[in-house]
């Protein structure tokens, strides 16, 4: 076998920067390799960092874009909801306008009806006032006629009941009273006499119709004079009969319903006023402040109301 020795390596060139270049180790490959790896590592690091940054930026961009999209979606949903609500509000406003129109129509109708009702009420009031005036006029006429019919009549309360009781026995009782008050009464002075029906526990009033209003007035005047002169022994049932309880006899005019009410109101009025006396004469009501002072004729209830306002 032939062994060949390797060729000798060429001599290394010499440079002025290194006088003994031949003795220097050949580290060319080592130095070059180390510097190349460092630059590549730095470059790779920068590239990786750049890629990471870009990735991060992209992810942030994607995230921001997603958030923006979500916000946009939310805004769109809100806008749609607002549109829906606006549509509902528009419908409601339309319904409200319709209702308002109906209400206005109803109010207009009711206003017209109210005006008609007010007019009708005013007409009814006027008619009612007119009817009241007519009724008052008729009442006054009826009262006037009743006064004329009762102008000659008297009523006597608490006259003892007789058994049997007839027209003659009643006339005899009146004649006895006439003798007591010093005013004799003849049978022809009495046109009619009767007793009103009453409850079982009371005695009915005796109505005496004289032949004239003058005869009635004279008899009534005599009874008043007697009672005034005999205050301790005024006319009572013992003057007509010896037995039985004592009751005062009340002789007065037969008043109409209207005059009775007016007489009652006048008596109630003097209880709370400066007037002291109240009486009737010829179917009329009088009041007076004191004995000897002028009397005042009470024609209607309005007269009493006017006196109350003067207090």
Q: Is 244 left (phi over 0), alpha (psi -120 to 50) or beta?
A: left
pLDDT tens, position by position, 123-182: 999 999 999 999 999 999 999 999 999 999 999 999 998 888 899 999 999 999 999 999
Q: Does 292 or 42 have the greater pLDDT score?
A: 292
Please compute the mean of the pLDDT values over residues 175-201 and round it to a whole number. 91
Return the pLDDT at 38: 57
Return the pLDDT at 103: 92
Please give the radius of gyration of the chain, using alpha carbons only, rounded to the nearest integer: 67
How far apart CA 216 and CA 210 sit, in angstroms, is 6
Element (H or E) spanning 210, and its range? strand 206-210
How far apart CA 24 and CA 50 sit, in angstroms, is 42
Q: Are 157 and 202 in contact (CB under 8 A)?
A: no
CA dist list (Å): 21 to 73, 122, 207: 77, 144, 184
Residue 20 has pLDDT above 60, yes or no: no
> 219 with 293, same domain?
no
Q: What is the mean pLDDT of the chain?
A: 85
Q: Are 187 and 171 in contact (CB under 8 A)?
A: yes
The encoded tokens of residue 292 equal 């000897």
pLDDT tens, position by position, 65-103: 888 888 888 898 999 989 998 989 999 899 999 999 999
How far apart CA 256 and CA 167 sit, in angstroms, is 24
Residue 260 has pLDDT above 60, yes or no: yes
Q: Which residues pair with 253 in a beta bridge?
A: 154
How far apart CA 157 and CA 165 sit, in angstroms, is 16
- pLDDT band at residue 21 under the 50/70/90 scheme: very low
Domain that holds residue 212: 150-254
Which of 149, 183, 198 represents a domain boundary (last residue)?
149
> 144 with 177, same domain?
no
- pLDDT band at residue 39 under the 50/70/90 scheme: low
Q: Are 207 and 153 in contact (CB under 8 A)?
A: yes
> 245 with 162, same domain?
yes
Output the domain CATH number for residue 243. 3.30.70.1820
Q: Where are the beta strands (DSSP E) in the chain?
A: 153-157, 190-195, 206-210, 250-253, 277-281, 284-288, 296-298
> 219 with 265, same domain?
no
Q: Which residues pair with 118 in a beta bridge?
A: none
Which of 124, 149, 174 represents a domain boundary (last residue)?
149
Return the pLDDT at 29: 47
Domain count for the chain, please give it: 3
> 178 with 220, same domain?
yes
Out of 36-45, 156-165, 258-267, 274-283, the most confident range is 258-267
Q: Does 54 or 287 have the greater pLDDT score?
A: 287
pTM passes above 0.75:
no
Q: Which residues pair with 288 in a beta bridge?
A: 277
Q: Where are the beta strands (DSSP E) in 54-205?
A: 153-157, 190-195
Return the pLDDT at 15: 45
Of 55-59, 218-222, 264-268, the range with the lowest mean pLDDT is 55-59
Which of 151, 155, 167 lies closest to 215, judged by CA? 151
Return the pLDDT at 1: 44
DSSP codes, 15-79: BTTBTTGGGS---HHHHHHHHHHHHHHHHHHHHHHHHHHHHHHHHHHHHHHHHHHHHHHHHHHHH
Which of 149, 182, 197 represents a domain boundary (last residue)?
149
Return the pLDDT at 60: 82
pLDDT tens, position by position, 211-233: 999 999 999 999 999 999 998 89
Does 166 map to a domain?
A: yes
């Amino acid at each position: 076998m032939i062994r060949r020795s390797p060729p000798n390596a060429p001599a290394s060139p010499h440079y002025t920067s290194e006088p003994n270049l031949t003795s220097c180790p050949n580290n060319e490959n080592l130095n070059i390799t180390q510097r190349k790896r460092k630059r590549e590592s730095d470059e790779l690091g920068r590239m990786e960092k750049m890629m990471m940054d870009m990735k991060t930026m992209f992810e942030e961009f994607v995230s921001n874009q997603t958030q923006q999209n979500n916000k946009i979606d939310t805004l769109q949903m809100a806008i749609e909801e607002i549109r829906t609500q606006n549509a509902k509000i528009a419908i409601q406003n339309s319904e409200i306008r319709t209702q308002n129109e109906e209400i206005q129509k109803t109010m207009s109708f009711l206003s017209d009806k109210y005006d008609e009702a007010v007019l009708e009420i005013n007409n009814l009031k006027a008619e009612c006032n007119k009817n009241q005036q007519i009724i008052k006029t008729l009442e006054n006429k009826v009262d006037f006629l009743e006064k004329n019919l009762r102008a000659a009549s008297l009523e006597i309360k608490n006259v003892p009941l007789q058994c049997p009781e007839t027209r003659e026995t009643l006339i005899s009782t009146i004649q006895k009273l006439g003798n007591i008050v010093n005013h004799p009464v003849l049978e022809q002075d009495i046109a009619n006499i009767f007793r009103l029906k009453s409850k079982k526990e009371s005695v009915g009033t005796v109505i005496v119709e004289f032949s004239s209003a003058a005869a009635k007035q004279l008899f009534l005047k005599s009874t008043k004079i007697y009672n005034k002169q005999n205050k301790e022994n005024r006319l009572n049932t013992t003057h007509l009969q010896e037995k039985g309880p004592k009751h005062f006899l009340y002789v007065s005019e037969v008043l109409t319903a209207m005059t009775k009410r007016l007489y009652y109101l006048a008596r109630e009025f003097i209880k709370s006023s400066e007037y002291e006396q109240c009486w009737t004469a010829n179917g009329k009501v009088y009041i007076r402040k004191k004995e000897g002072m002028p009397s005042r004729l009470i024609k209607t209830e309005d007269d009493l109301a006017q006196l109350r306002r003067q207090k």
